Structure 1
């Protein structure tokens, strides 16, 4: 991360440096500020409070997040200082790659007649079996964490036909090289698009397992031709797998055929077989077909944008956005002139009020209580 526009003031008070004010902007967006003190005694004991204001972090590959909160840095800076506090995730995007580059095994190279200069360089870099020497037992584990992360909504997972939103809270503890998260994020809403089929997820979780490449487990149930289809999206965000099963049990290609085309594989035309193969390739990471919708959704600043069809084949456009952190507005407009507006109000983490009204005059409202155990 790169900071810029740094400004601040500090003074010496005996053996302490007192930070009266310190602020900086992040190159990716947002600001950070700090106050407190650092002792000049052995180990440099610190007592510093850090504020994050809509600070944006991006790893350049899978993860982008905007966070605010207050943290405290305490303990010896040269030992195992503790970073603790509370952080609220305003919005986060986890991108599932559309395709994966194949990795090649390294060639086993043996140096013949290695020049002395090269041999010295290799020795300094420890590019031999000595590089695998164990870490000394007394080596410091570095910065320790005890941070609570709150994100009731607006954590979006998108890519390869997947579009889901999760929320929840996690407490992250332990050293940086062995993070121990407690808690997780559960599904608010989500779907998987495959060859025009929209499969809605019933449940799901996102778990941190030590880094910003989280583990996903999303489950959906839908009806195929004479079967009940179960769809499971699981694995690290960088390497997910999509599995199809059914009741009664059938091979995956047969399950996909009955789900997408409402008929058995043996009854498919050559064109349908080609589409089925393309769907399998897409799910395996061969490219997605939602690029246009994703571009439009991002340009319009929406949380959701989709094209849906009902049982009679009527087409409608569905869009949604957060008016505030706890108020979600959804709009659906159909080609037949029918439209509908829905509003979700998160009263607490477990209590939600939902209401909707349509152009046909039908309206409804309800209060829902959900609790995860």
Structure 2
């Protein structure tokens, strides 16, 4: 009877398990009714093109084991789920009989690309809108299920789990290699190994985590590494994050190292200690190399109260990288600095920041600061701030403006208080006082006083005015400034995107240019403005009148002058129109100008006619145009000036232009080919671009009035040149030919037979000379060839009939053969030959004698006539004995003197030679008076 009951129970549970297993497998293989039915019959071995399932055993002891050789679920020929070599071993019998569940999951790989698309007419499974509630419910169900079990042991070993970017929904390719999970409920023990590999945004990230211990208090060790990670302009290199957490999430420790590259700035971050204790995260020993030379920093965050506390202290030997990163590369600043900062943020409470900064030798584009000191305290700076402290700078230079000191002081208490700015310099002084009232929804800034004095010219605020900001609306009360004695007023408002502003008054352009233009050019005139600015932020118009009286302009670099520059321009819809504007150069020449300037688009469109106009008039360059037609077109930051000019006079002084660069003249052998040192031919160096950028495209015709002179050259040329590029980088290209000229060489005036002057844009537009001159003298013809840059030409000497170089020089200098020269003339010839060949080094005649005679001092006393000339030499034998030699033209004019110092004021001298009839000894005494 007992046997029958046992068999009945056996078959009962066998049928239950078989039906459950069969239903589970059927549901898994054919859950989507809209797809092709994958399962027609269930046997112990199922095999099709889409799947391969093998049930290994189904015994009476209720272990349920089945293996999957391969399952590929496809949709439209695309596999979205792939399972390979997976074995599942569940002891279901123990679960039903004793509420014990033991299972083993072993597999080669699971690959999930994307979920299948829903077809029309299929019901959508919707999750509760409250996702957190759904997750909580799911966890509760799982927890209740696990709690109901008496025993729960599970083991999972999966070689690979791969989730594609299509499944995750981002540019992330996720793969887990070698997953291992073991859990024993009876011991409450969990062991997990989770190696993760992701490819995100073109980068590779590896993650290895392992956890072991009781479920309430286990230890997690992790390591994250990636050789590179790219996002926008930020490149991370060699990221390494390691750590260990015990009793998650109550405590843990770790460290972080990473390198990053941003806009060519290389830096590395190191967090030597990361700890988590009682929900407080602490970062200690923070260092940031590359941006900062040395740092000591700490940071803590309380997860419960959301409080943040941080402190940092360090220095930087070069601020270029740090300031470039902070300003996104626009305003890099070099120099050194030390800093100290303390930050406290109290969640919803007030915040506090204390910052100290000291910088030295700070330099950037168009600015330099010798020292900077900042000491600031900021409280509640994210809402209604309190700002107290001082920022001070010394020796500030920006363009042509310089200040000895500049100080900014703030006494802002809960959004209210004064802000003062004071500056002191030799040419400029500043004194400004503002009052701030910063509320949560309305900010009012009142400028109480503003006084500036530049080059003894005042620029002052006549009365206080306010700027009120309320949401998107801005209102400016009438602000009247006065430059010298000329006032102008600015006022208006902005409501949402609508603008309504006005600017009216007169100003002295001379003072205005000193204050704001910084070019150093001379600008004069009275400018009257009556403008309105209306429309929207995206599209607004200027209307009004712009009038200039008694205008004057002088370019200090080229000597260009514009006299009597007056006009009255009408602005309509943002377009300023100039008609029949005439300006003179002060010497009979003039420019006649017409055109427009678009204030909104900042585009020029001008035409000008030049007659007898002096475009340049300096010691080194004179350019007077006979006539020409010019245009100025294009946007403000890329305007193009073009046209053609016919020159009336052009003069170029080589010595004045490049006098500091003129070197010794070198004589070369014309019979040997000469090599050009291309390393010395450099292109024009680009300067930093101005806000206003002007490029050239001029065709210049030069009649035979182009005079080039200096370095012994005086010549007239004609030809055509093309002047292009910009004010910062003028490029002259073309070739002009010699009409006539002469060369002063070794005191001889030599007529130039032929020559060319080439501008090739090399070496700051220094022209390349190619000249040949000749001189006939005493049945002798000397030929001089001059080649090379105008500042460093080389001479080649030849003659007819052919003579050595020394003989050519002797004929040019003395008109006779070198063998017939006197000793002094021979020395002079040697000196000149040495200088021209580069041996002399530019020394004097007596310098050459020192070298040849080996004497310490050499001088020539010419006397009253050639017969009285003496060559004097001195040599020191010891610190108290010296010998003097006087060599005359004849032996009778020579003598030797020996001088011995007895005391600093007494010497004994002895003299002998043909110049004296007898030898003599003398005592000399010297005194100061």
Please say which of residues 198-207 and 80-89 is displaced more in the overlay: 198-207
The aligned residue for residue 892 of structure 2 is: none
Q: Describe how 1:140-289 pairs up with structure 2 within 5 A.
A: 142-194=693-745, 197-210=748-761, 213-223=766-776, 229-246=782-799, 252-269=805-822, 272=825
Q: 1:147: how far off? A: 0.5
SS of the residue corresponding to residue 807 of structure 2 reads helix
Q: Residues 202 and 213 (structure 1 numbering): CA distance in 2 closer, same or farther, change over 3 Å? A: same
Q: Give 1 or 2 for the bigger CA radius of gyration.
A: 2
Q: 1:274: how far off? A: 7.6
Q: Residues 14 and 102 (structure 1 numbering): CA distance in 2 closer, same or farther, change over 3 Å? A: closer
The aligned residue for residue 636 of structure 2 is: 77
Q: Describe how 1:1-373 pairs up with structure 2 within 5 A.
A: 1=555, 2-26=561-585, 30-42=589-601, 44-58=602-616, 60-68=618-626, 69-78=628-637, 80-97=638-655, 100=659, 142-194=693-745, 197-210=748-761, 213-223=766-776, 229-246=782-799, 252-269=805-822, 272=825
Q: How far apart, in 1, do the equivalents of 2:606 and 2:659 lie?
A: 42
Q: How far apart, in 1, do the equivalents of 2:825 and 2:615 lie?
A: 43
Q: How far apart, in 2, do the equivalents of 1:182 and 1:18 lie?
A: 35
SS of the residue corresponding to residue 819 of structure 2 reads helix
Q: Residues 29 and 218 (structure 1 numbering): CA distance in 2 closer, same or farther, change over 3 Å? A: farther
Q: How far apart, in 2, do the equivalents of 1:87 and 1:280 lie?
A: 45
8 Å CA contact retained: 1:62, 1:238? no
Q: How far apart, in 1, do the equivalents of 2:749 and 2:648 lie?
A: 28
TM-score by length of structure 2 reads 0.24
Q: Residues 7 and 236 (structure 1 numbering): CA distance in 2 closer, same or farther, change over 3 Å? A: farther
SS of the residue corresponding to residue 655 of structure 2 reads coil
The answer to which structure has the higher strand fraction is 2
Q: How far apart, in 1, do the equivalents of 2:826 and 2:734 lie?
A: 43
Q: How far apart, in 1, do the equivalents of 2:586 and 2:655 lie?
A: 25
Q: 1:74: how far off? A: 0.8
| Count of residue pairs the alignment pairs up | 253
Q: 1:241: how far off? A: 4.6
Q: How far apart, in 2, do the equivalents of 1:275 and 1:147 lie?
A: 50
Q: How far apart, in 1, do the equivalents of 2:701 and 2:630 lie?
A: 14
Q: 1:51: how far off? A: 2.5
When the two chains are superposed, the root-mean-square deviation of aligned CA atoms in Å is: 4.1
Q: 1:227: how far off? A: 6.4
Deviations 1:153-206, CA, capped at 9 Å, x for gaps: 111123343221111111223344554444211000111234664322121112
SS of the residue corresponding to residue 41 of structure 1 reads coil
SS of the residue corresponding to residue 809 of structure 2 reads helix
Q: How far apart, in 2, do the equivalents of 1:281 and 1:37 lie?
A: 63
Q: 1:250: how far off? A: 5.4
8 Å CA contact retained: 1:63, 1:212? no
Q: 1:75: how far off? A: 0.8
8 Å CA contact retained: 1:29, 1:56? no
8 Å CA contact retained: 2:782, 2:799? yes
SS of the residue corresponding to residue 208 of structure 1 reads strand
- Which 5+ residue runs of structure 1 have no aligned equivalent? 104-133, 287-373
